[in-house]
Amino acid sequence: MRSKFRTPFWRAAYRSLPDSARERYLADIQRAERWELALDAAVDVLSRAKGALAGLFNTPTKPRSAH
């Protein structure tokens, strides 16, 4: 049987529900996990873009001494 969740947190959250509530909230928990993964990916992309832009525009304003 394939796991319904990709992350241990959401897998544990699903397992912690009573059997009578699991199927009722399965779609909601899966949706929450997808949102979390999408937001995590977006933050990662923005962080990388910020680093790339900072590298492009980070020029010294005056020459630095070698000593």
Domain membership of residue 31 (yes or no) is yes
Per-residue model confidence (pLDDT) at position 3:
64
State whether the Cα torsion 30-31-34-35 is positive or negative: negative
User: Across the chain, what does the average pLDDT equal?
Assistant: 88
Total domain count for the chain? 1
pTM greater than 0.75 (yes/no): no
Distance CA 66, CA 8 (A): 51
Distance CA 1, CA 15 (A): 15
2 pLDDT exceeds 60?
A: no
Per-residue model confidence (pLDDT) at position 53:
83
38 pLDDT exceeds 50?
A: yes
Q: Name the residue range of residue 32's domain.
A: 18-46
